[in-house]
Amino acid sequence: MSNFNSHASDAISPALVPQRVLANGAKIPAIGMGTFGSDHVTGSDVANAVLAAAELGYRHFDCAAVYGNEDQIGAIFNAITASGTGIRREDLWITSKLWNDKHAAHDVIPSFEKSLRDLRLDYLDLYLVHWPFPNFHPPGCDVSSRSDEAKPYIHEKFMETWGQLEILHDRGLVRHIGTSNVTIPKLKRILRDARIRPAVNEMELHPHFQQPELFNFVRANNIVPVGYCPLGSPGRPERDRTPEDTDPLTDPVILRIAAAHDVHPAAICLKWAAQRGQVPIPFSSKRTNIRANLAAVTSDPLTDAEMDAIAKIDRGCRFIKGQVFLWGTHTDWRVLWDEDGTIKA
């Protein structure tokens, strides 16, 4: 790829993007570009969006093996850091994630190495265990899909997987390791037993799903919360929708604040996220939206009164419910999320 424009006239200086400080003192840009194209955006469209994002000033990219596009994105990372662009590898923050069918100890490092190869990198800034359940299901399957092999969270098994991430960290191949889609009871055990603590926890976070207990727990333990679906994932597949789902982008409070700032409601969700202290990772396939999302966190902050008003519109509405991870005879996805404070078997 040679079409990277390092002097785009619509760029925003990366120096304006706030940074969050991790437990070891390293810094992570306070907004990242998501790379999950869902059902309607192809791998090459996502790669083009990553190219546009880098031109526009993003330096943080949230990738995952299961998104099926790391190879295409890797070609873009190569172009971004090619000589003459002025961007060095160390200027980027790149995350990838271990998929659920690769939790067995002997699968972790080969799976990581494939992501690294596909992304054309020699180290990652962050490697996450994507879900705490070791349950395979085919990408894109229906929410009713179940595996006979499905298992609950088994802490000892999870720590074997985590031990492999610790080895990657020891070898200097990943700068930080982290969790995703865990709950407070699971995190308490992980923090008790980990030799290397998670630097980051990736979790669903938007104005209608603020997860205050988990958010506060994570921060109290010096872990940076990264918030996925920060706009409420308006483009998520039909299979991930239920009739009870709400929509933060049409919430009257968000609409009122958006009108006051003369921006799209998406910008208000992102300003709120960055000011609250989480790292939102919005995805967009459109250059104007990609730019607007970066502009949201670099200009015109919300007032304290606006932040307070958004704190009051939490609806506890989880969009990514995880039904496909259900095991045994369980039929209610709530069992995955330890809502009564205990880990279910």
Ligand X SMILES: NC(=O)c1ccc[n+]([C@@H]2O[C@H](COP(=O)([O-])OP(=O)(O)OC[C@H]3O[C@@H](n4cnc5c(N)ncnc54)[C@H](OP(=O)(O)O)[C@@H]3O)[C@@H](O)[C@H]2O)c1
Q: Interface with ligand X includes 26 (CB under 6 A)? A: no
φ/ψ region of 328 (left if φ > 0, alpha if ψ in -120 to 50, else beta) reads left
Q: Interface with ligand X includes 297 (CB under 6 A)? A: no
Cβ burial of 338 (10 Å; 0-12, 13-18, 19+) is middle
Q: Using CB under 6 A, pick the residue from 72, 81, 111, 293 that binds ligand X.
A: 293
Provide the mask over 258-287, with x wherever binding to ligand X is found by CB under 6 A and - wherever it is not. Answer: ------x-x--------------xxxxxx-
Number of residues that bind ligand X (CB under 6 A): 29
- Segment contacting ligand X (CB under 6 A): 5-13, 28-36, 137-145, 157-165? 28-36
Q: Interface with ligand X includes 34 (CB under 6 A)? A: yes
Gap between the Cα atoms of 317 and 25, Å rounded: 33
Q: Interface with ligand X includes 181 (CB under 6 A)? A: yes
- Which of 80/226 has CB closer to ligand X? 226
Q: Interface with ligand X includes 125 (CB under 6 A)? A: no
Written as one string, the DSSP assignment of 177-199 is EEEES--HHHHHHHHHH-SS--S
To the nearest whole angstrom, how small is the minimum distance from the Cβ of residue 96 to ligand X? 10
To the nearest whole angstrom, how small is the minimum distance from the Cβ of residue 83 to ligand X? 29
Pairing of β 33-34 and β 60-62? parallel
Site for ligand X in 63-122 (CB under 6 A): none
Nearest by Cα to 76 from 46, 115, 56:
46
Is 123 catalytic? The answer is no
Tokens of 111: 């799976």
Cβ burial of 33 (10 Å; 0-12, 13-18, 19+) is buried
Nearest by Cα to 91 from 128, 57, 64, 116:
57
Residues that bind ligand X (CB under 6 A): 34-36, 62, 130, 180-181, 202, 228-236, 264, 266, 281-286, 289, 292-293, 320
Question: Annotated catalytic sites, by residue?
Answer: 67
